[in-house]
């Protein structure tokens, strides 16, 4: 016998194998139906809801932390593209006394112990606000940013990579020596150039796809550890 349930956006049915199938709705497009069906059948979505996390992406950071011990000894953390706040939740759960600053264009509901800014990271005052809120150099700068898609693969890739490079540029000014930068990247033709750039600033650079990252997604994560600040320029006497 086939049971039925109401999904978050309307009625759905459950097949004999337990998979939820979304019924057609006049106001939903085919792509919207596919997205909803995927959400309803995603174990990470269900697990995030059960754990009280704001997004399934929280598990990506948990898995990266388990592999690289990103949060084991951090006191100051910056989350670029923090909405809806899942990564900040993981940091505070692991390091309750850490100073955590999140920034995003979207509004983020308040999180205890986290300083949040609704702002573009490219705004002139963004870096100063983050620096003041941190109270010192960051141990870890995280970025789960991705540009809004326009449906053209090459354009979407370039827009997102531009954000990643902007995040890296900010990280090089926020991080303490030996600090870590973690960012979502997209598989594409510019990976080699980004890796070369990262290796100029960090002693170790690795690419990883955590289990919580959907297999059909082009996203990967870069983990760059051992930040090397640029040597100050020496001005020859005139």
Whether residue 109 sits in one domain with residue 41: no
Whether residue 60 sits in one domain with residue 32: no
pLDDT at 1: 38
pLDDT at 90: 97
pLDDT at 30: 53
Is residue 206 part of the annotated active site? The answer reads no
Host H or E run for residue 197: helix 191-201
pLDDT in 10s for each residue of the chain, 238 residues: 334 334 333 334 444 445 545 445 556 555 445 544 454 445 777 887 887 788 889 999 999 999 999 999 999 999 999 999 999 999 999 999 999 999 999 999 999 999 999 999 999 999 999 999 999 999 999 999 977 777 777 777 788 788 899 999 999 999 999 999 999 988 754 578 889 999 999 999 999 999 998 787 888 999 999 999 986 655 566 5
pLDDT at 35: 40
Whether residue 135 sits in one domain with residue 26: no
* 24-33 confidence digits (pLDDT tens): 555 655 544 5
> Residues with Cβ < 8 Å from 170, sequence gap 6 or more?
80, 121, 126, 127, 130, 141
Instruction: Specify if 232 maps to a domain.
Output: no
Whether residue 177 sits in one domain with residue 86: yes
Q: Which of 32, 51, 70 is the last residue of a domain?
A: 51
Whether residue 133 sits in one domain with residue 40: no
pLDDT at 148: 73
Q: Give the relative orientation of helices 153-174 and 191-201 as an angle to the nearest 10 degrees.
A: 0
pLDDT at 188: 59
Whether residue 136 sits in one domain with residue 26: no
Q: What is the rounded CA–CA span in Å between residue 77 and residue 114?
A: 10
Q: Long-range CB contacts (< 8 A, 24+ apart) of 120-124?
A: 121/80, 121/81, 121/145, 121/166, 121/167, 121/170, 122/166
Whether residue 104 sits in one domain with residue 28: no
Instruction: Specify if 13 maps to a domain.
Output: no
Q: What is the mean pLDDT of the chain?
A: 82
Out of 19, 23, 26, 184, the active site residue is 184
pTM: 0.79
Q: What is the rounded CA–CA span in Å between residue 162 and residue 231?
A: 25
Q: Tell me the two tokens of residue 184.
A: 């979502």
pLDDT at 27: 60
**Residue 97 belongs to a domain with what CATH number?**
3.40.50.150
Domain hosting residue 44, numbered range: 19-51
End-to-end CA distance of the chain: 88
């Amino acid at each position: 016998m086939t049971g039925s349930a109401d999904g978050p956006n309307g009625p759905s049915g459950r097949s004999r194998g337990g998979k939820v199938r979304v019924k057609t709705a006049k106001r939903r497009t085919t792509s919207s139906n596919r997205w909803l069906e995927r959400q309803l059948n995603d174990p990470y979505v269900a697990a995030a809801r059960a754990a009280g996390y704001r997004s399934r992406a929280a598990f990506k950071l948990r898995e990266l932390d388990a592999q690289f011990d990103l949060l084991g000894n951090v006191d100051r953390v910056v989350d670029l593209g923090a909405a809806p706040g899942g990564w900040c939740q993981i940091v505070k759960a692991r390091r309750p006394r850490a100073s955590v600053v999140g920034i995003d264009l979207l509004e983020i509901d308040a999180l205890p112990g986290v300083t949040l800014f609704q702002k573009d990271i490219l705004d002139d005052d963004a870096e100063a606000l983050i620096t003041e809120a941190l109270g010192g150099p960051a141990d870890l700068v995280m970025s789960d940013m991705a540009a809004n898609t326009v449906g053209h693969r090459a354009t979407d890739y370039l827009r997102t990579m531009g954000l990643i490079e902007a995040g890296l540029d900010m990280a090089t000014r926020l991080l303490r020596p030996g600090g870590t930068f973690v960012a979502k990247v997209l598989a594409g033709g510019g990976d080699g150039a980004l890796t070369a750039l990262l290796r100029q600033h960090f002693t170790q650079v690795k690419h990883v796809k955590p289990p919580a990252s959907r297999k059909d997604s082009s996203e990967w994560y870069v983990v760059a550890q051992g930040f090397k600040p640029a040597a100050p320029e020496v001005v020859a006497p005139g």
